[in-house]
Chain A
Amino acid sequence: MFALCDCNNFYASAERLFRPELNGKPIVVLSNNDGCVIARSEEAKACGIKMGDPEFLVRDLIKKFGIEVFSSNYVLYGDMSERVMHNLARWFPKLDVYSIDEAFGWLGGIKGLQHYIPEVRKSVVRNTGIPVSIGVAPTKTLAKLANKLSKKTNGVMVLDNDEKITAAVKEFPVHDLWGVGRQHYKKFEALGIRTAAELRNMPEMWFKQNMTIMGQRMWNELWGRPAIPLEVMREVKKGITVSRSFRNYIEDPGVLAEALTLYASRLAEKLRNEKLRCLYLQVFLYTNKNREDHPQHFPSHTHKLLIASNSTTDLVSIAVRVSARLFRPGVKYRKAGVIATGLVPESELQLNAFYDHDHGKKDVVSAVLDKLNLAYGRGTLRMATEGYEKKWRLKHEYLSQGYTTRWSDIIKVK
């Protein structure tokens, strides 16, 4: 049996845990740069706020209903997610963390799931303060479906026999199934397939002829035959990206270099965390395509390194140089980013006969950098080209505190 556990309105719930006065009140969390709504409490959903709504479009609703607004506080969400996952891991022989707020659990031979799962839920909610929902079924696809249904049954739904599964798929809308994207949905709609039950009643031949291997797996999974294993192994990354919108437009090459220094530093850090080096570094710039009155420019350049690297100094100097070349005066840039590709494991260093290798000097520098920044906070030691003012920095006007990660931010009680 598989379980899918997920946190209800995770970001909103995490914010509310430390602001209990907001329980029962509508709140929303905005994306990076306070752009769009990425999480809503149930009450905010009821106010008519949709996922992905741009902040400026719902400003009136926010005012009208007195909705509390938060900038995304990923430091907090990351820590709360870790707590939830660790607490879940105590109850499942195997756990695959699927995203920041979801995990698949494998239940092995655990018996009495009707009693066990509510226990799990109670314990996780109590220990972390984050409401979670758990759906259990013989396959991952059905567990995901059970999880959706559990939102209306106190957070637990265990489909442990055929009758329950048949009842669950009967009215389940096909577009809410795991793995059904827009393309599939169109195909199903044209055939008049509305529910999961109707989909699984299609003959297997139809799936073989009309769907990819994923479709066939879905068909089997809907009948309770596991076809998707619990993936404990992550797939190897092909590229790592760091990109962000600026707070205001950047029109100055020096300021652009500051932003790219930060992004490239962060990218180097990410590479080192994954114990990878990159052979190619792509730098790109965007203007705001919604502003037709602005000159548009979307340049991009991929630089090939002589030797794969994950050193901050290497990547920053390339990013800054490339960005200076891409930059065009008189253009207002809205966003920039760096992408590392051609990733190779740190351990497999290919040297180049015509290149004077530094014999690991840069690795030592990187190690010191990482150690200091881990101990004293990100950005304690950084490249000077990052600048000091950082006016381009992300907007986060409604940022809550680091209640669980910063001593200065812990809550004072009377």
Chain B
Amino acid sequence: MVRTRKPALYGIIPALLLTGVLLAMTACGQEPTTSTTAAGGEIQKGGTLVYQIGNPSFIEPTQAFESEGIEIVQAVFDSLVQFDYLTNELAPDVAASWEANEDASVWTFHLSGESTFHNGRKVTAADFKYAWERICDPVNKSNISYHLSAVKGFDEMGEGAATELSGVKAIDDETLEVTLSYGYGDFEYVVGHPCLCPIPKEEVEKDAAAFALKPIGNGPFMVSEPWAASRYVRVVKYPDYKGTQPNIDGVEFKIFEDVETAYLGFQAGSIDSTQIPPGNVNAAKTAYGVSPDGYTSNPGAQVQLGPELAIYYMLLNNEAEPFDDPDVRRAVSLAINRQAICDIVHEGVRKPADSFIPPGVAGYVPEAWAYSKYDVEAAKEHLAKAGYPDGAGFPIIKLSFNSGPGHEDIMTLVQADLKAIGVTAEFDVSDAPTYWDKVQNGNYQIGRSGWGADYPIIDSFVYSNLASTSADNFANYNNPALDEVITAARQIKATDERIKKYEEAVAMAGEDCPVVPITFYAHSRVGSARLHDFVHGGLGMSDFVSCWLEGAAAQ
């Protein structure tokens, strides 16, 4: 159980990357006398942090598939391993250690034996097996079973042919052995997903409906009262937690249908951490000060604009004319003024994408995709090469996307950019389910998508979106040579070597330009003036353990 948030560590790791302000901040954790904050830097205990979330569909790990639900799961449950909020590095959690066989197809996790559920019972390896099988059981119709698709027996269970995951074995209370269908060197990262945590079977069997509203986990916080639909989820710290105890007493996850309303509440002083609605970032920067690392909010440096491990991109239907021609795809990619999109739509928060892999993911190479830049002349050349000089004879294209304020604005700019190279594009807007239906059936020409990492690994981007065998390859890109490289990369156990191989795959795909990277995501959040050392990381998770609230105990 190492929920590592020791300030001393932070002095070393980010020092090379970040400004001295961070060093000053970390120092203030150790030396209460020197401080960047007005009220002195000594950590104060107590208080309830009020945290804005969207309306979750689920807050139990078996079903939670959107970030709002996963953030709650993250606070209430602990998985086998965890990622550092700032560096995304892998660290032990419920598992103290683990190892894999030669081709990374059999993994053995050794539990520390310290973790207990909020009902007091010790967490065992069988609890993981139960939780994972619950996710894969077709009766539960979980949207997140794909996390476990590498595990042996996954398909059989999904089809209803088996009632258990044959690849998952609880050898004894503290040993979990997982056999995969293929070598997968990144599996140690996969099990760090918050929703792959253990679940206490007895509580679910007692009352599954109650568990869904008030999950009983093994994390630093426990749900204190059943989820009040559309209103809030409240958690308080779990007194018997063996890892690092939180400084605050609890978190109120306050549910807001829209960020605008939440931001009004923040301005009125009743919310400690919220997203900033589009259009307010610049004003917020002036009013609340910018966090130097983009992740940590401290008084006076409250606006968090750090990059996230996610990419916004456009789908081109590689199977159908005219986008089956790589030159047409290159032309589209070169025609798009990504900087304008970042400046206008994202107020400069997001950055133009120069590769399909976002920075922060190990294996990101700057400018890895040569066509992912703005060059109208080059775009016209490629279009001419494809047989459409100045767009002559190019069919009118449908620009499909799901309705939503951000998408509309981006597509408006894309439409204008395409017009500049002689390509006429018409909007085809639909609600999200209809849109995704079209995309999955290949019934589109240009679409949009966003991809965020579930775990900080390059495979999450490369395999899912670019391999011909992936169900998420909506661009219908099919490159057998690339498939081979990806398969080879997945089986490499040594991390560095594996990443090298993936880099090769990314470069190969970049030449073909199967999709058009647009922007790298960044969050835009703000913390309150009483909130200290509050980290919202690149994986979109907030750290409620190491933060503290100034003056909260007095209330």
A binds B: no
Residues of B within 8 A of A (CB): none
Residues of A within 8 A of B (CB): none
